[in-house]
Structure 1
């Protein structure tokens, strides 16, 4: 049997399907992003949920979108192949409820809705395009279990493929006992690792190009800071900086000197920001060849690591904090948490 994980779990080895009459109710969450297509199938478990199956593939759906305003035929074909694989997995296991969403690439692309209509016809999967606000709320939902009683506020960032979401969160007194946090404000910057990699290209591998991206992102963040006075709150104490993205988990893996990336060691880990900053410097010094050979990066992510690190460096510049909590969880976990909470609440509503 798979390990019971607290609240959230992802990308675990698939569980052998149980006999249909004894199988627990399964829920599925599908996230089609600018760079990745991810599926998570899970069943409720003590204190959270248990992963039954998962899928993740780099599809680069947003490739060329910034230049043309459209999803390219090649990118759509890659994503369609991944979504067919997801449909096959879902077809092999009864699922009580499925939530399937698309994010920044389909939000921005002129032909995004047409592509999703094609997917519905070819696979039966009906994906809905969610707003940037809902994207921030789902990330907050998945990361809420990492909050502690000492936290008054949390600043959560998610560096995605096509955009970066920043969520400014109020932590209620009972957060550690399951009370949901409140989203005070959010901002979605159209600057993600794919869009920056395409625009900056080789420049991010140079010191000058890297810091030009840092300056651009920091300018956007400073405006959000002026509205919410986040820096002032950080100086007053009780603010937790949290990051969820491939960029921040990679920084954690390097800072922890992991011989290979291991999610259980990284998810929920709180790092000294100085250690994360040193890891950023180490990644920058590796260059393209060194990044391709690094066990926490690999050849598929070479182009995206330094643009993501530039966004992280901008966040650190505008909001310097002593510690960073790393979350290897995101939209899928947030969707699953919501679905299972609604399932538990249904009998109580019927009883009333």
Structure 2
């Protein structure tokens, strides 16, 4: 069957169309995305303003047309931290439902972490042993650990690259004092969670998902996405530590010229790098392997599991 996942994220609204059935690997058939940056459309009260909602509705309509054109049988629409944490989330969801017919499921942060972990587990298999999975989104950082398909621990922290950039790094390039303050904030937040994971012992394999980690790995010399999903890609902490001060000294335009960094995400790659560096350092990780599958694939896999169970 042809499934569509409509992911209303903090950075982008992304429709992923796959051909899938229980017991088989989902095969990507089409990808349609629009950079909306909902996390940066919140007003001073924490609400998504009318203009932001209008843009969201227009983008959802475009995605619905793309899904129809591609013959999607079953659409799985969901929203993450930007909508979840908006003060007027209920009103936003009601308007989207009334004007597009789409009923967005709002995932909790823990659900995001658990579904991303499921995707990573299925990608790497049982031989990977105890997995630690890190995911940096636009609005939040997800961390999950476990040996089965359901993680033993899963947390979500408000440390997304888009959120932190909008709130704490106003300059271009940012003021060094702002960078240091953000570094302290990020490390304090992550350090509070380390003890929750430490009791399970050291992981056998550490993987990272999300566009932020992929771009950081590419900056550090990893293979281009054009070389395919099955090429081994990793991000080393030493590489990241060397790049953070360089990114901090660059303007957004200069970062956008780096290999693998898109113009739309160039402004927030520094915040993402600070979060990635802190997580790897505080968890004692020297390198992470980049996982091609993440939250959207986790949603698809969970749906297929439900279909298989009848």
Residues 1:343 and 1:64: Cα distance change in structure 2 (over 3 Å): closer
The correspondence of residues 93-132 of structure 1 with structure 2, limited to 5 A, is: 93-132=70-109
Residue 14 of structure 2 corresponds to 38
Asked whether the equivalents of residues 131 and 146 of structure 2 are also in contact (C-alpha less than 8 Å), the reply is yes
* More moved, 185-194 vs 132-141: 185-194
Matched, 1:59 2:36: yes
| Pick aligned residue for 1:288 from 252, 259, 278 | 252
2:188 is aligned to 219
| Structure-to-structure mapping, 1:19-168, within 5 angstroms | 25-44=1-20, 47-65=24-42, 67-147=44-124, 151-167=128-144
In the other structure, the counterpart of 1:312 is 276
Residues 79 and 104, structure 2, Cα contact 8 Å, conserved in 1: yes
Map Cα deviations across residues 164-223 of structure 1 (whole Å, 9 max, x no partner). Answer: 1111x2214xxxxxxxx2311222212212221111124573444223222212112222
| 1:239 maps onto 2:216 in alignment | no
Mapped contact 1:155–1:241 kept (Cα < 8 A): yes
- 1:250 maps to what in 2? 215
Give per-residue Cα distances to partners, 1:102-134, cap 9 Å, x unaligned.
111111112212112211222221111111111
Distance between the aligned counterparts of 1:290 and 1:162, measured in 2? Answer: 24
**Counterpart among 292, 314, 326 of residue 290 in structure 2:** 326
Q: What is the deviation of 1:339?
A: 1.7
Q: Deviations over 1:30-61 (max 9, x none)?
A: 11011110111111278401122211111011
1:55 is paired with a residue whose SS is strand
* Compared CA separation, residues 325 and 146, structure 1 to 2 (3 A): farther
Contact 1:214 1:313 in 2 (8 A): no
What SS is found at the alignment partner of 2:256? helix
User: In 1, are the aligned partners of 2:141 and 2:158 still within 8 Å (CA)?
Assistant: yes
Output the CA distance in 2 between the equivalents of 1:117 and 1:103: 16
CA distance in 2, matches of 1:127, 1:26: 19
**TM-score when normalising by structure 1:** 0.79
| 8 Å CA contact retained: 2:121, 2:131 | no
> Kindly tell me: are residues 271 and 304 of structure 1, through their superposed partners in 2, closer, same or farther at Cα, counting changes over 3 Å?
closer
Q: Distance in 2 between matches of 1:282 and 1:148?
A: 36
Gapped regions of structure 2 (runs ≥ 5) = none
**Does the 8 A contact of 2:41 with 2:49 survive in 1?**
yes
CA distance in 2, matches of 1:40, 1:289: 29
What is the distance in 1 between the residues matched to 2:164 and 2:176?
15
Cα distance in 2 for partners of 1:269, 1:121 equals 43
In 2, the alpha carbon distance for the partners of 1:193 and 1:73 equals: 24
How many residue pairs end up in the alignment?
Answer: 308
Structure 2 residue 153 is matched with structure 1 residue 185: yes
Listed as ranges, the gaps of 5+ residues in structure 1 are 1-24, 173-180, 347-352
CA contact (8 A) 1:26 1:41 kept: yes
In 1, Cα distance between the equivalents of 2:44 and 2:188? 23
More moved, 106-115 vs 290-299: 290-299
Q: Which residue of 2 aligns with 1:342?
A: 306
Range with bigger deviation, 140-149 or 122-131: 140-149
CA RMSD for the aligned pairs? 2.5
Answer with 1 or 2: which has the greater Rg. 1
Q: Is the 8 A contact 2:169 2:179 kept in 1?
A: no
Q: Is the 8 A contact 2:237 2:281 kept in 1?
A: no
- Distance in 1 between the 2:258 and 2:58 partners? 28
Q: CA deviation at 1:315?
A: 0.5
